[in-house]
Amino acid sequence: MIEVAAEYEGPVRRAMLVGLAGKDDDINLISEQLDELAELVKNLGIVPLEPEIVKVREYHVRYRMGTGKAEEVAQLAQECEADLVVFDSDLTPSQQRNWERLVKCPVIGREEVILDIFAERAQTKEAVLQVELARSRYFLPRLTKAWGHFSRQRGGSATTRGEGEAQIETDRRLLKRRIQQLEQELSVVRKQRDVQRKSRNRKPVVQGAIVGYTNVGKSSLLKALTGADIFVKDQLFATLDPVARKIKLDGNLEIVLTDTVGFVRKLPHALIEAFKSTLEEAVLADFLLLVLDISSADLDNEWETTMNVLRELGADEKRITVVFNKIDRIDREKDAVMLSRINGLFPNALYVSAATGEGMDELLKTLSALSSDARKLLTVEIPPTRHDLVAFIHANAQIYEEEYLDDGSLRAVFAVEEKYHNKFTEYSV
């Protein structure tokens, strides 16, 4: 939850949101980002107050804006009785301290809000460790903020240091030690997960990953496809851990679909690094289902954000199928122009509703085609001397038919990744 320094006692109930607009910035975009920040703040049980957009002509080190503008913001925060001021941008540790002295209440940036949400939602051991590591790295340079209430804080030698500085140094040392411990624990957990993943990948099943902006209905889609008991809730970052489920398709096909953590604009880099292991499911998948909320007013930016994160992960070159979810939430007559535009931009996209089931049959057909494309079908007759190829098929292929002939040869029909086809060239039928 929101870290409140010792001099700011009491619960945080109301937050004033602040967006900064440079001379070339789009005010509408900043307003949309503040709306999203309001949703993030609500997820922490805090009431967001009317957002304030501050026009900034040039960057100032102390407050990121001029002193006069900063004093106006502080006055507004006091007038609306805000318990917290949240900037829709990152603040340096010194800027946070300067703002807190000015407004007399905690001041944080968007990154800290997201970190707190992740800390609240993490369930598995790996997610808990990842979030704690990201938070620890974030708070390490900000420890002086928490101990600013010590009046004797000052520099000097060990014999002249005040109580505040001694506590800061102790906490910094303890936090650095905890960061090292977390890194070691995560290393062990990741090795265990890699073993599990390798075991899963040895099975001849095509892997797909569901990716997209947070709260577009990825978990609902996986639940609708599999019927499995998957946690679904209409909130940001409801899913932090990858959830993999097997789906049986027509034609004796099977795939494994994995739901991944949702993306968001200005996702803190520390969290992208921390959740690389979670998002690796997208990198290692044979194909991606990129889910978008067709009813969202910010559809274009959500698409752009998702693609930017995929580029950072190196997964943007994967085979991507765009799926527009929540088709039941729009009026097709009133939104005809918008739908026509989307059809033009995404001519091969699918339109579904995880809530009503509309379009799910077409999605299942597409999954069957993706599975077939990922692994090409072969029919071979392998002589009895090639036990190695028989073992390879059983370990790496999806077998549809298998029959031993009178001469001991194995006749098999199976699907395998195209890169392995050269192994069977001379035995193809």
What would the pLDDT profile of 373-424 be if each residue is shown by its tens digit?
767 778 999 999 999 999 888 877 778 889 999 999 999 998 777 778 888 9
CA distance 249 to 373: 14
CA distance 322 to 304: 13
Contacts (Cβ under 8 Å, ≥6 apart) of 342: 294, 299, 324, 349
Residues 116, 44: contact at Cβ < 8 Å? yes
CA distance 126 to 225: 26
Contacts (Cβ under 8 Å, ≥6 apart) of 202: 395, 396
Same fold, 14-118 and 203-373: yes
How confident is the prediction for the chain on average, in pLDDT? 81
Topology classification of domain 203-373:
Rossmann fold (3.40.50)
Specify the amino acid at residue 90: D
CATH class of 14-118: alpha beta
Which helix (H) or strand (E) segment holds residue 244: the answer is strand 243-249
Name the 3-class secondary structure at 10.
Answer: coil
The pLDDT, as a whole number, for residue 229 is 61
51-60, 272-281, 306-315: which has the highest mean pLDDT? 51-60
Contacts (Cβ under 8 Å, ≥6 apart) of 192: none
In the predicted structure, residue 168 carries a pLDDT above the cut 50: yes
- Could you tell me the CA-to-CA distances from 365 to 337, 356, 369 in Å, in that order? 28, 18, 6
pTM here is 0.69
Pick one of 3.40.50.10190, 3.40.50.1370, 3.30.70.240, 3.30.450.190 as the CATH number of 375-427: 3.30.70.240
Token pair of 246 as six digits: 């097997």
CA distance 71 to 411: 81
Instruction: Output the furthest CA–CA distance in the chain (Å, rounded).
Output: 93
What single-letter DSSP state applies at residue 393? H
The pLDDT, as a whole number, for residue 153 is 35
% residues pLDDT > 70 (the chain): 80
CA distance 73 to 149: 23
Going from N- to C-terminal start, the domains of the chain cover: 14-118, 122-201, 203-373, 375-427
pLDDT tens-digit series, residues 201-214: 555 578 888 998 88
Lowest mean pLDDT among 25-39, 57-71, 144-158, 170-184: 144-158
Specify the amino acid at residue 91: L
The pair phi, psi for residue 393, each rounded to 5°, is: -60, -45
Mean per-residue pLDDT, 73-81: 93
